[in-house]
Structure 1
């Protein structure tokens, strides 16, 4: 029986290693995906997700997350939730609700507290120092405040042919209080249909929301395109359209997987992602935009991996 999981960014690797073992033993896609994203949320050196995520302009960590069940289209999501250890778990629980399945701000935080989800201060000293440094840079160098919008998004297939998708993000660094990007929005940040496949996105939410690219990739796979062909067509055609209409397109990258465990990726920046299937052990890849509407994909080198590890753990002065 086939199984597989694909996720955005190198930061998903440890979670996918665990998921690969669990999926091979028959764990549900629901549990494997939640565990994968929780591993990213819990790691303090990933500065765009969960604990250690970078705060908004007020120094407050506001988190977004979403969960979708491809068997029945149930969706749960939170936006602007604060001081909750694992927003993906709150989103999964909300997906069981017929009503009130997408909660924001204080309402999302209150729901998590009422349902006994673990609450901690999500602002680490490291993230606070990065925020303080950015304030100084803005004051002294007129530097743009906005940076960092790397969502962890994953699509998972289990041996029972069930599929789920999920996302989690602390959003745009130095964002305005209350800002929400694409990550918790169905069709933009994620979409999954167990009879076809799923996709998730990462990048500049303000531009990703203009294209509903996760849904578009799933729709194209449903019309018979391979995951790679669907990703290339959806991402690069929209990139070109946005560049023509707006003058430029922000960074965005999407990963997808169909219900056979086949996968695809497209991006307009250098982008890392992680894949594991019943035929492929967990691997970290790099993707870049190629000539025309194509994607260049290669396995990450040890040199790249070492540089990544050094960069994310570098002391903050």
Structure 2
């Protein structure tokens, strides 16, 4: 039987590798999604998700996450949650609630505390230094406060044909308190239907939520398009429409997988992702927007990986 996982950004790769081993050994797509995202939430050098994520303008790390079961359409989500080790796990538990399955702010944090989730100060000293440096740069150079919005978004398919989706993000660096992007919003940040496939997004949430692109990609796959065709058609058509209507279009990158394990990607920026299935081991690729609504996808180079590791671990002046 087919199985596979795909997720946004190079930061997802270790989790993708682990998820494929789990799926190979009869693991569920639900467990695979949680595994992929927890890997990223735990790593302190990924500054847009979980532990080590960058805070809002007041120095508080607010996190968003969502989980969806493609068999049942159960969805759980949190937004603005604080001091919780694994927001994705809270979102997954909330997906089992008939009511109150999307909680925000203090309500989300209190739910996590009362249900036994690990409490942890998720703001690292490194992230605090980056926040302070950004404040100083804003004062000295009149810079825009906003910088960075990389979400981990993942889709997984298990051998039984079940599919799941999940997202996790600390959101826009230096955002205003209470700001929520597309990541925890069904149809925008993620969507999955085990009968068809799933999609997940990363980029500027304020623009992504204008197009509900994750749902649109699944709808197009249901109409007969391959995942790649669906991604290209949905993302680039909307990029053009938003540019025409709004005057500009922020960063947006989406990954998709159908119920056969085939995958696709589209992006309007340089974008990395990790993917693997029963036919191919996990690998990291880099994607760019091509001509005529197409996507250029190439294997990542070792030189790029070395530079990436150096960059994310560079000392903070």
Same fold (TM over 0.5): yes
1:236-293 alpha-carbon deviations (Å, 9 max, x no partner):
0000000001111000000000000000000000000000100010100000000010
| Residue pairs, 1:187-226, within 5 angstroms | 187-226=187-226
**1:165 partnered with 2:165:** yes
Aligned partners of 2:139 and 2:56: how far apart in 1? 16
Aligned partners of 1:49 and 1:74: how far apart in 2? 23
1:15-57 alpha-carbon deviations (Å, 9 max, x no partner):
1111111111111011011011000000000000000000000
Counterpart position of 2:85: 85
Counterpart position of 1:262: 262
Counterpart position of 1:26: 26
Aligned partners of 2:21 and 2:212: how far apart in 1? 32
| Residue pairs, 1:77-226, within 5 angstroms | 77-226=77-226
Counterpart position of 2:227: 227
SS of the counterpart of 2:291? coil
Aligned partners of 2:232 and 2:85: how far apart in 1? 35
1:197-249 alpha-carbon deviations (Å, 9 max, x no partner):
00000000000000000000000000000000000000000000000011110
1:108-151 alpha-carbon deviations (Å, 9 max, x no partner):
00000000000100100000000000000000000111011000
Aligned partners of 2:164 and 2:291: how far apart in 1? 32
Aligned length: 317
Instruction: Please report the TM-score for the alignment, with normalisation by the length of structure 1.
Output: 1.00
Aligned partners of 1:279 and 1:240: how far apart in 2? 35
Extract unaligned runs of 5+ from structure 1: none
SS of the counterpart of 1:98? coil
Give every structure 1 segment of 4 or more consecutive aligned residues whose post-TM-superposition deviation is greater than 6 Å: none
1:155-191 alpha-carbon deviations (Å, 9 max, x no partner):
0000000000000000000000000000000000000
Counterpart position of 1:236: 236
CA RMSD of aligned residues (A): 0.4
Aligned partners of 2:312 and 2:117: how far apart in 1? 28
Instruction: Please report the TM-score for the alignment, with normalisation by the length of structure 2.
Output: 1.00
Aligned partners of 1:55 and 1:246: how far apart in 2? 28
Extract unaligned runs of 5+ from structure 2: none
Counterpart position of 2:303: 303
